[in-house]
Structure 1
Amino acid sequence: MSSNRINPDSRPVLILTVALTLTVALVSFVLSFAALRDAAVWGNVPPALTWAVPVIIDLSVLVYTAAALVLRTRAESARLSLSLVGLFSIVSVAGNAAHGLELNEQHQHWIGVVLVALAPVSVLTSVHTLASLVVVEPHVAAEAHATPLPGLSDHDRELLGNLASTHPNSKRTTDTLAAILTMRREGAKLKELSTATGMSVTLVKTALADLRQAGLLAAPARLASYQH
């Protein structure tokens, strides 16, 4: 019996969703652009350069959102990128709201100053974000040539390989998971595991939970001596 319901994974639905999302994003950017461009004048920005303020603020949100998605795909911490998304989103919302209010000149001036002051912040954080995406950290490069850790069976290695990330730049490799497993069995604490693997404590916790689910580690209640 055929179903008349719409398949959410069908190509037409996906294309429509993408088209509507891009339309909303474009219209929102145009509207925000107009408001922030006018607000830039409050910070004594020359009229010929007022367009730069909304570009810096609103495009920064897109940059850090994309970076957060990449980092999460690599199983790396995206806390900084998500924090920057929140910061620039709040500033954009505040700037748009201030533009619609009848503020006195003093308040307008301070809002304009804040908007302009974010320019060097955006440069610094954007460069840092780019570096975190394209530069391979030394310990990650070393892991590519690491030798198998002793004390693990072939079956264990196979399970670790299934849990490892497939992204080439991810810190969650078979060797880092093997290190976490071996060190945890020896009583290592979360901070020690984080330092040894270069992964955040949050990502180490996630790895430990996956190792327990795969049966490679006992439940926390049975590892009292391993607790930090």
Structure 2
Amino acid sequence: MSHSPARINPDSRGVLFLAVGITVLLALASFLLSYAGLVAVAAWAAVPAWLSWAVPVTIDGAILVYTLAALVFRARGEGARVAWASLSLFTALSVAANAAHAWDAGQGDPRAGLGAVIAGLAPVAVLLTTHTLARLIIAPPLRAEASETVAAPWAVAAGRVWAADEVGEPEADVAEPEPEPRDERILALRAQRWSLRQIAEEVGVGKTTVERVLAKAVA
């Protein structure tokens, strides 16, 4: 008896916790690397040494906030243009500041270029890990528009059927037989408990005519 090999369920709680844990560690490591460069760059902006920690917290913290905000807005179906623009601005600023600090520290060393690239990747890693973490924990938007698009033809068809039932089919113009034999025939069929529609079809007149003949007979 053959057995299919056991496979990991990607939607299981254990896999989710593992992925979230690894992503958080990568985000923290990236944040610390960027933190070191931005603290040093704070002096370029004449920020006091005791307040230098606020520079990386503000810049890289904004990357975290706007990444989460953009994904939440998208999940709600709301516009996230401002969040994405702010995210791009702070990411570019962090990359430029880290790369400039690494290049300045190299002081003309050919290896300073590579160091600047590595330093500039730290805030990019913060962005990517935050984006990945948010996608792991935030539910994707529902495909409501697709469902409505599929359902619309059925709704239109149902509306047409309902309208047809309400209005009714137009009565065909038929040549009515002579009144006296026709009226007697209508009264005779009604006496046999035929419905108005059955009488109209049998005699070849409209249902309104049948009603009028019966009303006249009662009067």
What's the TM-score once normalised by structure 2's chain length?
A: 0.48
